[in-house]
Structure 1
Amino acid sequence: MEGGSGDDQDPDHPPRKKRYHRHTPRQIQEMEMLFKECPHPDDKQRQHLSKELGLEPRQVKFWFQNRRTQMKAQTERAENSLLRQDNDKLRSENILMREALKNPTCQHCGGPATIEMSLDEQQLRIENCRLKDELDRVSSLAAKYLGGSSFGQLHPSPPSGCAMDIVAQGPSVVDVATRPGGLTEAEKPLVVELAVTAMEELLGMAQANEPLWLPGPDHGGKLEQLNYDEYMRQFPRGIGLRPHGLKTEATRETGMVMNDAVSLVETLMDSSQWMEVFPCMVSRALTVDVLSTGVNGNRNGALQLMYAELQVLSPLVPTREIYFLRYCKQHAEGVWAVVDVSVDSLRDNPPPSLMRCRRRPSGMLIQDTPNGYSKVTVVEHMEYDDRAVHRMYRDLVNSGMAFGAQRWVAVLQRQCERLASLLATNIDLGGVPSADGRRSMLKLAQRMTNNFCAGVSASTVHTWTTLSGSGDDDVRVMTRKSVDNPGEPHGIVLSAATSLWLPVSPQRVFEFLRDERLRSEWDILSNGGLVTEMAHIAKGQDPGNSVSLLRVNPMNANQSNMLILQESCTDVSGALLIYAPVDIPAMNLVLRGGDPAYVALLPSGFAILPDGPENRSRASSMMVSHDSTGQLTDSSPRATGGSLLTVAFQILVSTIPSARLSLESVETVNNLISCTVQRIKAALRCEDA
């Protein structure tokens, strides 16, 4: 800042504003690496760093001062958050205790409690409470109360004639579950018994065959359907009755997964890891309360209350919002089960937000195999309201393919292959200079994909606005501010998405979009330039699962080269193709093994889904090839049917976070997405769709 201050300033010549210097990604990267090793560099280190980065020593000094201040503020915010949570829990318990003292009741007879007692009786009551607490602690460590009987049965029955057991008449378990702070001691016995019942049902549904599960009419009988008469006979203690107006979806799938059982269990019990593995299915997840962390140093007996929002990558399909218990149990050596069950079944009138979707006992049965893989059986049993689902997606949702077990297994298999590829050392680098560069490029692509999935669905945190008046291919837009995220450019970001039906198989659409030779037919940003692949990293056995670095060669000398980072994912449940332009100097740092966290990305891309069970069967068996002109041809006579395509763009419309969105920006992105859709239809010869 230049100019005077205070009373010395000339009122006719006010001081000039601060001049800010924006550091380059390389400068931030190098200073961040030194900060991790030495937060307080000396003069010699600052001099050396300033010469290397082309900065003044005072600029380096001020950057480190600001970074230390930022780190201290983040630490203080985290500590304050933990203290607030503890304070809220203590306040809730205090309120319950005060209410209990106002209206004491006898747990044995239900009448008013008699508080008058002799000194000996008082001592006996104190000793009895101490023994109960000790019994609870020992039982928790041994996980006996999760073994199959109700939690309350561990407590000895009160002696006859007693009138001194004071209990609090607190709120219902779901009232507590859906507010910050989680469950209190008064509700825990109820949810423990619910978790045990749910685990028994999951095991029965995962291991049983006919007559509980019958071959379905679709996909050659491989899509099983639940026999509900048999279900009610085998599980008469069902978790509540089905609410009126909800449909039922029950699916089961088994597959081999490239990971061991313990690692899979850890992933499922950690909400952040769970979201990381299923970014296209879980838009939000958090752990509300932890009732048990397990025993013997592992997750056996772990029980926690969680919240999640399940999604389909389209703004036309509402997310499924659920509060549920997640309970993990080891049944034998190398055999684990993790069950989920909604907690709304414990109350008579759950809130409306929980009435649209309800999760009956669902989860995974995981068994280790000698080759290091795991055999995973997924059961997904949901009750849901489909009235808000767009008619274009209703067949997909009602068939169980959108949220069902087949999709969970397919995505898990693909993501475990990706993880193995990330950790591999003796593998083809695919044109990347080093193994560290390969890992950095995969991490950057994973962040790009996660960001794309987080901004496409009809999540409750998004507010979409429809641009065009009516029709199946309306463009929906939303805006958000990007200020503190180092992985995005600062300013106003506009997200636009549209979903449409194409009379083309999903596999053909996917192969057309990922072929760099045909990219100029739909990608407006390439401006007709020749697209070549600089680097290619395989993420599994399917060639469609890969990360690529593309170079767009300009049509004339006045234009500069452009790099595009692209990730493609495919399995039997659908496909993704996501890409983003990347800064060339920043990408060179990534290829040399630098930290990819500071590479700014705004991903765009496509989500491709089958339009129903029959199409899924055709897509999984179809062969696709190219003719001599580079055009796609289907070599299978069954390659018919349609696909559901979601096209989404993210664009920086202003570098000022406080700026207002202009109509010109909205019109530009509307034209961009509409033109892209028309080009894809023309290339696939389905303009009339």
Structure 2
Amino acid sequence: MMAMSCKDDKGGIMDNGKYVRYTPEQIEALERVYHECPKPSSLRRQQLIRECPILSNIEPKQIKVWFQNRRCREKQRKESSRLHSVNRKLAAMNKLLIEENERLQKQVSHLPGPDSIGIVSIAHGCNGVAARACGLVALEPTRVAEILKDRPSWFRDCRAVNILNVLPTGTGGSIEILYMQLYAPTTLATARDFLLLRYTSVTQDGSLVVCERSLTNIQNGPSIPPVANFVRAEMLASGYLIRPCEGGGSIIHIVDHMDLEAYSVPEVLRPLYESSTMLAQKMTIMALRQLRQIALEVSQSGAPNNWGRRPAELRALSQRLSRGFNEALNGFTTEGWSLMATDGVDDVTVLVNSSPEKLMGLILPTPNGYSSVTNVVLCAKASMLLQNVPPALLLRFLREHRSEWADYNIDAYTAAAVKLGPCSLPGGQIGNFGGQVILPLAHTIEHEELLEVIKMEGVGHCAEDALVSGDMFLLQLCNGMDENAVGMCAELIFAPIDASFADDAPLLPSGFRIIPLDPIKGGSSPNRTLDLASALDIGGSRTRPSSNYYVASGSARSVMTIAFEFACESHMQETVAALARQYVRTVISSVQKVASALSSNMNSNGALQAPLGTPEAHILARWISRSYSFYLGAELLKSGNERSENVLKLLWSHSDAIMCCSLKAMPVFTFANQAGLDMLETTLVALQDISLEKVLDEHGRKGLFTEFAQIMQQGFVCLQGGVCSSSMGRPVSYERAVAWKVVNEEENAHCLAFMFINWSFV
């Protein structure tokens, strides 16, 4: 019967229950061989026995077991040494973080008090960029910490946070090693990533402390080498102090401090990476907004809205739109994107993606109800610099006047190319559409972000298919419409959906992102205080002048980034790529024209104004006022000053909505004062695209047609109150209205003027 043997813990052999130990001479001989060859072959072991007489009584099998034990002990020794080294490093870092935590607590205790809730401070003169905030929310500290740690759920620039390791602490806290990736905001820069250490602890009074800082220059510690398409940035001392409030809720103190390696981006973009204001808007304030939004949803029990969606589901849709747009904009190779050859002009970049993960179940709707199963997604993207156009103003125009930039008749070649095979275009198909109706879906507490469904009425494939048309729907995310919010970027992101609006519907987001490069002088935002004079005194031997400088009016800059996704079949890839380039170039041209027109109507304070610089505007204002006085026997403007600039100023600020339309067969509006623009929900630039017929309801159109002859003969008519529509389709009620003929210096009819008195949205 074969003898049973097993290994002991000292390298010897236990044979039939008896220990067989190696002599020191035998171990020395085996060690010499081990250092030369840790894993000898069977032939080498037999040769060893023959060459070393002192090993002659050892069987080859026992020699094999000794080498196995020796390799195992060596591996354990190295691992133990490494763990002891990491433990010493983490213990030292833990001590430093505890000291940093105590310092931060002392620092923030001087910042916020009961009367300073909601304050956001912007740092100047410190290393990197920094911001801090204090807020009160109706959530328990543990829930607050859970939300804030889930950074991708509220920080839209955050692509991913991976937890590499977790070590518990003796106080019930934890030490985590994290790897975080941030999206690049434009096509002109590279994405950022971070290797972080996060320390969480609970203080004696029940407060939660979360400290974060980058891991740098740690020997034998965890490390991630540089990742392709990312620049390694640094997070300086940052974190959260979450204090429980009596009666429930929490007071949250937030400190964000980063060095985003601005040297690696083009000089024109460096304000984005050196501006504490941008950091505050995109990260610090967004953290507070997420907490307040979730607290509101909890208080309302998460009841579904009219669309049958609960608030959490709507937030998930917003997140999907934002994330999809960022993924398309960044075009990471790990997501399946690859660069297509250019057409010789580098203004528009086209990427292609055919990965199964991107296309799985992608069935996109078309206006006539035909569903196209696609196997290729293209993304055409570009960036451009804008001058002296507030992002919020341009965004509102793009949202409200899609026909100004969405070109549905690119050229005959495009229409023919689409007919060769189905493809889904962002925002609609080639052809005309009758208009858009905005259907509200959800909004955040401060209305800084809107989620809505856009109904595109009467969309057709092309002019030849005008009889075959239908409605198309877009899911749209709109944020940053408050032009007074300092450093706020504006986004309009949309994706085609079908009428069923299923929860799991695939989304191919496209849209615009407009980021201010220069701060707005004297800007503020509702329900928020920005202390631009404060400084955050965080250590660091290097200091640099703050980049939050103020620029003179007229030189404010912003960068607009456009990314449009197209879905098609693989055999149509080259054709649709050419279509995508042409489409985006057409959009760029349209946006540039709109931006130029908006810029020309900005006053010295950067606000949209009446066209005071044009003599025609002054003359028209005088004609409107004089004609009203002549035909109605009363003064329209309560002023005896006939100076033309004063007349236009008074007309522009009149409380009632005053507007003029042409005397053509299809009258369109040619002028409106500020109240008129508000009622029509439009701008001076887009005013001429609105017809009188679209504003008046059927009753109003019939009444005006009946009274038109009287207006032209008598000069005026008084209309009963009623309901009309804004350019966005919203009903507007008015108490009464007056229409009168506007004549020029030669007493010839120039246009028709309307005044809607005591109007309001229904």
User: Aligned in 2, Cα 1:399/1:340: closer, same or farther, shift over 3 Å?
Assistant: same
The alignment status of 1:505 with 2:390, answered yes or no, reads: yes
Shift of 1:326: 1.1
For this pair of structures, how many residues does the alignment match?
Answer: 451
- Name the residue aligned to 1:254: 133
SS, match of residue 564 in structure 1: strand
Shift of 1:546: 1.8
Equivalent AA in structure 1 for residue 381 of structure 2: A
| 1:580–1:601 Cα contact (<8 Å) kept | yes
SS, match of residue 225 in structure 1: coil
Shift of 1:338: 1.2
- Name the residue aligned to 1:345: 217
Q: What are the superposed Cα offsets for residues 467-489 of structure 1, whole Å, 9 maximum, x if unpaired?
A: 47677x54353434244765744
Distance 1:210 1:263 in 2: 22
- Name the residue aligned to 1:602: 508
Q: What are the superposed Cα offsets for residues 7-59 of structure 1, whole Å, 9 maximum, x if unpaired?
A: xxxxxxxxxxxxxxxxxxxxxxxxxxxxxxxxxxxxxxxxxxxxxxxxxxxxx
User: Aligned in 2, Cα 1:491/1:419: closer, same or farther, shift over 3 Å?
Assistant: farther
SS, match of residue 345 in structure 1: coil
| 2:352–2:376 Cα contact (<8 Å) kept | no
Distance 2:444 2:475 in 1: 15
Shift of 1:334: 4.6
Distance 1:211 1:535 in 2: 42
SS, match of residue 455 in structure 1: helix
The alignment status of 1:193 with 2:92, answered yes or no, reads: yes
Matches within 5 A, 1:236-255: 248-255=127-134
Distance 2:587 2:248 in 1: 44
Shift of 1:562: 0.6
- Name the residue aligned to 1:479: 353
- Name the residue aligned to 1:495: 379
- Name the residue aligned to 2:179: 307
Shift of 1:620: 4.5
Picking from 135, 144, 148, the partner of 1:264 is 144
Picking from 286, 294, 300, the partner of 1:411 is 286
The alignment status of 1:539 with 2:451, answered yes or no, reads: no
Equivalent AA in structure 2 for residue 551 of structure 1: K
| 2:454–2:475 Cα contact (<8 Å) kept | yes
- Name the residue aligned to 2:434: 529
Matches within 5 A, 1:543-622: 544-554=448-458, 557-570=467-480, 572=486, 573-584=488-499, 586-587=500-501, 590=502, 596-597=503-504, 599-612=505-518, 614-615=519-520, 618=523, 620=525
SS, match of residue 520 in structure 2: helix
| 1:546–1:568 Cα contact (<8 Å) kept | yes
Shift of 1:251: 0.8
| 2:175–2:200 Cα contact (<8 Å) kept | yes
| 1:319–1:458 Cα contact (<8 Å) kept | no
SS, match of residue 327 in structure 1: strand
Q: What are the superposed Cα offsets for residues 577-610 of structure 1, whole Å, 9 maximum, x if unpaired?
A: 22111011x31xx4xxxxx12x121111222221
Distance 2:376 2:584 in 1: 18
The alignment status of 1:449 with 2:322, answered yes or no, reads: yes
User: Aligned in 2, Cα 1:520/1:206: closer, same or farther, shift over 3 Å?
Assistant: farther
Shift of 1:621: 8.2
Larger mean CA deviation between 572-581 and 381-390 belongs to 381-390
SS, match of residue 662 in structure 1: helix
Q: Which is richer in strand? A: 2
- Name the residue aligned to 1:379: 255
Equivalent AA in structure 1 for residue 151 of structure 2: W
| 1:195–1:325 Cα contact (<8 Å) kept | no
Shift of 1:611: 0.7
- Name the residue aligned to 2:581: 670
Shift of 1:506: 1.8
User: Aligned in 2, Cα 1:464/1:275: closer, same or farther, shift over 3 Å?
Assistant: farther
Distance 2:327 2:88 in 1: 36
Larger mean CA deviation between 300-309 and 332-341 belongs to 332-341
CA RMSD of aligned residues (A): 4.4
SS, match of residue 673 in structure 1: helix
- Name the residue aligned to 1:72: none
| 1:552–1:563 Cα contact (<8 Å) kept | yes
Shift of 1:653: 2.5
Shift of 1:308: 0.7
The alignment status of 1:644 with 2:528, answered yes or no, reads: no
The alignment status of 1:274 with 2:151, answered yes or no, reads: yes
Distance 2:522 2:339 in 1: 33
Distance 1:580 1:223 in 2: 35
| 1:357–1:384 Cα contact (<8 Å) kept | yes
| 1:206–1:377 Cα contact (<8 Å) kept | no
Shift of 1:324: 1.5
Distance 2:244 2:333 in 1: 38
Shift of 1:320: 1.7
Shift of 1:282: 0.9
Picking from 268, 272, 285, the partner of 2:161 is 285
| 1:257–1:412 Cα contact (<8 Å) kept | no
The alignment status of 1:389 with 2:265, answered yes or no, reads: yes
SS, match of residue 208 in structure 1: helix
Equivalent AA in structure 1 for residue 201 of structure 2: K
Picking from 224, 230, 244, the partner of 2:123 is 224
| 2:386–2:557 Cα contact (<8 Å) kept | yes
Distance 1:393 1:277 in 2: 24
Q: What are the superposed Cα offsets for residues 626-660 of structure 1, whole Å, 9 maximum, x if unpaired?
A: xxxxxxxxxxx979723222211122122xxxx47
Distance 1:506 1:688 in 2: 11
User: Aligned in 2, Cα 1:541/1:358: closer, same or farther, shift over 3 Å?
Assistant: closer
Picking from 357, 362, 367, the partner of 2:233 is 357
Shift of 1:394: 1.1
Per the normalisation by structure 2, the TM-score is 0.51
Q: What are the superposed Cα offsets for residues 183-216 of structure 1, whole Å, 9 maximum, x if unpaired?
A: x56523312421331342255256438999xxxx
SS, match of residue 579 in structure 1: strand
Distance 2:359 2:589 in 1: 34
SS, match of residue 265 in structure 2: coil
User: Aligned in 2, Cα 1:400/1:487: closer, same or farther, shift over 3 Å?
Assistant: farther
Distance 2:204 2:109 in 1: 25
SS, match of residue 379 in structure 2: strand
Equivalent AA in structure 2 for residue 567 of structure 1: L
Matches within 5 A, 1:204-219: 204-205=103-104, 207-208=106-107
Q: What are the superposed Cα offsets for residues 224-279 of structure 1, whole Å, 9 maximum, x if unpaired?
A: 2255xxxxxxxxxxxxxxxxxxxx4141221326444321212344xxx321222x
- Name the residue aligned to 1:125: none
Picking from 186, 189, 197, the partner of 1:325 is 197
SS, match of residue 443 in structure 1: helix
Distance 1:438 1:385 in 2: 37
User: Aligned in 2, Cα 1:446/1:250: closer, same or farther, shift over 3 Å?
Assistant: closer
SS, match of residue 270 in structure 2: helix
Distance 1:651 1:607 in 2: 18
- Name the residue aligned to 1:21: none
| 1:492–1:653 Cα contact (<8 Å) kept | yes
| 1:226–1:251 Cα contact (<8 Å) kept | no
Q: What are the superposed Cα offsets for residues 99-149 of structure 1, whole Å, 9 maximum, x if unpaired?
A: xx9xxxxxxxxxxxxx99xxxxxxxxxxxxxxxxxxxxxxxxxxxxxxxxx
Shift of 1:289: 1.4
Structure 1 regions of 5+ residues with no counterpart? 1-97, 102-114, 117-165, 174-183, 213-220, 228-247, 591-595, 623-636
Distance 2:110 2:378 in 1: 52
Shift of 1:535: 3.6
SS, match of residue 160 in structure 2: strand
| 2:380–2:563 Cα contact (<8 Å) kept | yes
- Name the residue aligned to 1:71: none
User: Aligned in 2, Cα 1:371/1:641: closer, same or farther, shift over 3 Å?
Assistant: farther
| 1:365–1:377 Cα contact (<8 Å) kept | yes
